[in-house]
Amino acid sequence: MGQRLKYKLRKFLENPFYKRRDFYVKLTFTIFCIALFVVLFCLCDGTVYFEKIIYAKDYVGDPFQVHVIDVENGDAYLIHLPTNETLMVDTGSARYGDRVESYIKQYFYYEKIDTIDYLVLTHSDEDHTGNAVSLMKKFNVKNIIRPIQYSKYEEENSMIDKNYSVSSGVTYNEAIRYAIDYEIAMTFADELDTMSFGECEIEFLQLKSKYYSNENNYSIIFKITYKTKSFLFMGDAESKVEDEMIDKYGDELKADVLKVGHHGSKTSSSQKFLEFVNPQIAILSCADRSSILPSIEVVERLSDMQIKIASTANEGNFVMRIYNNGVEFAKATRKPNYLVIILTLEMILVFIVWKSPFYDPKKNLLYKR
Ligand SMILES: [Zn+2]
């Protein structure tokens, strides 16, 4: 090192400003880093940044989005409507409550929304209603669209005034009871015909009967059409109801995307029904560990008909939209978390600052020649 440079460095280290670079300076620097992180955390809504469930955010801001949440063998769909309203279809099972809540929180954050305007409980099974009470407690749910079945609670409290059966579903019973206690508006699916949300229309397809031996067959079936494309949601309806739908609606069943009934079980998706719907894409809500669902028969039937399969087992969470007159699909993928990068850099800087020797007043100098 040249003499001149050494001299300059020594002068710098003798500088009173540098001499004050002691414990308090380091502490101030650390506090500054913490404060900076807290500010950034609040500005970017850090709680969403650190959610463990990955949100499918490719189509944020798109007027029509269908989010498919991976709840294994269960259903949980979030539909973003062009009027900025939200329609949620089923809640998944209670054991996947964290996943669904985390997903909704992120959806609210990215779409700047704070309400679930409509919660459709397709039928009483736990894998569809298990998380309903928890969602009603945590989020602002405005309306419930329910299947044509009463709950035990309504039966016990003489609240039955229609000719419907009573469901034995425990979580359905709890959900209806909670909605009654907290005065959340409820509508039976057979009271609805079509609902319009700007360029989007939802048509509720009505069941032929009021009584079925299997609760799956009470599933609310509806078709959402946005611009030129449509999605048909089947809940867990089985072949018996599929046949009834063919009789009643025939070619009206045609849809571009089919939310396959009963997680791909062979009790649903008959060849005849698939031919009537004639979808390009089939959505399957199912688990990858299950050996029963989806049934090989149904998967083969879909493949033979060249229907593309989008399953939660293979894709995890994903989102669909209508774009350029076609249906687009995007999987939820982990994007770089800038808050984590900033936090790591700050921690390295703080570490370096604290590791450098304290100013020693006895020696007067840090730098030794
Ligand atoms: Zn189910």
**Residue pLDDT, tens place only, 244-273:** 999 999 999 999 999 999 999 999 999 999
Amino acid code (one letter) for 299:
V
Residues whose Cβ atom is located within 5 A of ion ligand 1: 127, 236
pLDDT value, residue 353: 83
Average pLDDT over residues 61-86: 97
pLDDT value, residue 363: 56
> Would you say residue 14 has pLDDT above 80?
no
Average pLDDT over residues 59-66: 97
pTM value is 0.86
pLDDT value, residue 19: 60
In this structure, the answer to whether residues 344 and 322 fall within a common structural domain is no
pLDDT value, residue 356: 72
pLDDT band at 20; cut points 50, 70, 90: low
> Would you say residue 364 has pLDDT above 60?
no
pLDDT band at 313; cut points 50, 70, 90: very high
Distance between CA atoms of residues 198 and 15, nearest Å: 69
Q: What residues have CB less than 8 Å from 14, skipping those under 6 apart?
A: 364, 365
How much distance in Å is there from the Cα of 323 to the middle of ligand 1?
Answer: 30
In this structure, the answer to whether residues 16 and 165 fall within a common structural domain is no
pLDDT, greater one: 285 or 25:
285
In this structure, the answer to whether residues 57 and 161 fall within a common structural domain is yes
Query: What are phi and psi for residue 367, nearest 5 degrees?
Result: -85, 125
In this structure, the answer to whether residues 255 and 289 fall within a common structural domain is yes
Residue 129 domain-assigned (yes or no): yes
Domain carrying residue 80: 51-331
Q: What is the DSSP string of 41-83?
A: HHHTTHHHHT-SSPP--TTTT-S-EEEE---SSS--EEEE-TT
In this structure, the answer to whether residues 327 and 341 fall within a common structural domain is no
In this structure, the answer to whether residues 105 and 37 fall within a common structural domain is no
Which of the given ranges, 6-15, 291-300, 321-330, 350-359, has the highest pLDDT on average?
321-330
Residue 364 domain-assigned (yes or no): no
In this structure, the answer to whether residues 169 and 304 fall within a common structural domain is yes
How much distance in Å is there from the Cα of 97 to the middle of ligand 1?
Answer: 15
Average pLDDT over residues 6-29: 72
Q: Which residue has the tokens 């979580």?
A: 171
Distance between CA atoms of residues 10 and 212, nearest Å: 91
84-98, 127-141, 154-168, 277-291: which range is least confident on average? 277-291
pLDDT band at 170; cut points 50, 70, 90: very high
pLDDT, greater one: 284 or 46:
284
How much distance in Å is there from the Cα of 75 to the middle of ligand 1?
Answer: 6
pLDDT value, residue 302: 96
CB 319 within 8 A of CB 59: yes
> Would you say residue 119 has pLDDT above 50?
yes
Q: Are strands 318-323 and 326-331 parallel, antiparallel or unpaired?
A: antiparallel
How much distance in Å is there from the Cα of 151 to the middle of ligand 1?
Answer: 18
How much distance in Å is there from the Cα of 237 to the middle of ligand 1?
Answer: 9
How much distance in Å is there from the Cα of 221 to the middle of ligand 1?
Answer: 13
How much distance in Å is there from the Cα of 136 to the middle of ligand 1?
Answer: 20
Residue 363 domain-assigned (yes or no): no
In this structure, the answer to whether residues 111 and 201 fall within a common structural domain is yes
Walk across the sheet containing 65-68 and list its strands: 185-188, 140-146, 115-120, 86-89, 77-80, 65-68, 318-323, 326-331
The helix (H) or strand (E) run that includes residue 128 is: helix 126-129
pLDDT value, residue 31: 93
How much distance in Å is there from the Cα of 368 to the middle of ligand 1?
Answer: 74
How much distance in Å is there from the Cα of 71 to the middle of ligand 1?
Answer: 10
> Would you say residue 73 has pLDDT above 50?
yes
Residue 367 domain-assigned (yes or no): no
How much distance in Å is there from the Cα of 125 to the middle of ligand 1?
Answer: 6
How much distance in Å is there from the Cα of 276 to the middle of ligand 1?
Answer: 23
pLDDT value, residue 47: 80
Which of the given ranges, 5-14, 121-130, 282-291, has the highest pLDDT on average?
121-130
In this structure, the answer to whether residues 106 and 9 fall within a common structural domain is no
pLDDT value, residue 367: 47
Distance between CA atoms of residues 162 and 92, nearest Å: 28
pLDDT value, residue 8: 79
pLDDT, greater one: 352 or 137:
137
pLDDT value, residue 360: 56
pLDDT value, residue 368: 47
CATH number for position 185: 3.60.15.10
